[in-house]
Structure 1
Amino acid sequence: MMVSVVEMLEIEPDIVQVKMQDRTHRNAFSKELIHGLNQSFELIRAHPRYKTVILTGYDSYFSTGGTQEGLLGIQQGSIKFTDDNLYSLALDCPIPVIAAMQGHGIGGGFVMGLFADFVILSRESLYTTNFMKYGFTPGMGATYIVPQKLGFALAQELLMNAGNYRGAELEKRGIPYPVVPRNQVLPHALELARQLTEKPRHSLMTLKEHLVAPLREQLSKTIQQELEMHEKTFHHEDVKKRISELYGS
Structure 2
Amino acid sequence: MTETGDQRSSAPRVTLEVDAEGVAELWMRDEDGNNAFSAAFVQELRERLAELERHPSAKVCVLRGLPEVFSAGGDRSVLLDLAEGELEPYDLELTRSLLEIPVPTIAAIEGHAVGGGLTFGLACDMVVLARESRYGSNFMDLGFTPGMGTTGLLQFAVGEYLAAEMMFGCQYFKGSHFEGRGQINYVLPRAKVLDRARKLAARVADKPRLAITLLKRQLALPRRTAFEQARTAESMMHQVCFAAPETLERIRENYIGATDDDA
Fold equivalence (TM over 0.5)? yes
Report how far residue 176 of structure 1 moved.
Answer: 3.3
CA distance in 2 between partners of 1:205 and 1:174 (Å)? 25
CA distance in 2 between partners of 1:205 and 1:177 (Å)? 20
CA distance in 1 between partners of 2:185 and 2:40 (Å)? 30
Q: Is this contact kept in 2: 1:81–1:140, CA < 8 A?
A: no
Higher share in helix: 1
Which residue, out of 218, 222, 246, partners 1:210? Answer: 218
Which residue, out of 128, 134, 156, partners 1:126? Answer: 134
CA distance in 2 between partners of 1:186 and 1:160 (Å)? 30
What does residue 148 of structure 1 align with? 156
User: Does 1:80 find its partner at 2:89?
Assistant: yes
Deviations 1:135-178 (A, max 9, x none): 21111110011112211011111111111111012225455320
Runs of 4+ off more than 3 Å: 172-176
Counting aligned pairs with the same residue, the percent is 34
**Paired letter, 1:180:** L
Which residue, out of 150, 156, 166, partners 1:158? Answer: 166
TM-score under structure 2 length normalisation:
0.89
Q: Is this contact kept in 2: 1:91–1:212, CA < 8 A?
A: yes
CA distance in 2 between partners of 1:215 and 1:174 (Å)? 15
CA distance in 2 between partners of 1:215 and 1:125 (Å)? 25
Which residue, out of 237, 247, 253, partners 1:245? Answer: 253
What does residue 96 of structure 1 align with? 104
CA distance in 2 between partners of 1:59 and 1:221 (Å)? 33
Which residue, out of 98, 114, 117, partners 1:106? Answer: 114
**Paired letter, 1:80:** P
SS of alignment partner, residue 222 of structure 1 = helix
Q: Is this contact kept in 2: 1:14–1:51, CA < 8 A?
A: yes
SS of alignment partner, residue 153 of structure 2 = helix
What does residue 171 of structure 1 align with? 179
The runs of 5 or more residues in structure 1 that have no matched partner are: none
User: Does 1:32 find its partner at 2:20?
Assistant: no
Deviations 1:49-75 (A, max 9, x none): 110110101120101100111111222
Deviations 1:211-231 (A, max 9, x none): 222332332222111111112
What does residue 51 of structure 2 align with? 43
TM-score under structure 1 length normalisation:
0.94
**Paired letter, 2:90:** F
CA distance in 1 between partners of 2:142 and 2:182 (Å)? 27
Change (3 A) 1:176 1:16: closer
CA distance in 2 between partners of 1:59 and 1:79 (Å)? 33
Report how far residue 90 of structure 1 moved.
Answer: 1.9
CA distance in 1 between partners of 2:21 and 2:89 (Å)? 38
The runs of 5 or more residues in structure 2 that have no matched partner are: 7-11, 257-263
CA distance in 2 between partners of 1:196 and 1:154 (Å)? 30
SS of alignment partner, residue 179 of structure 2 = helix
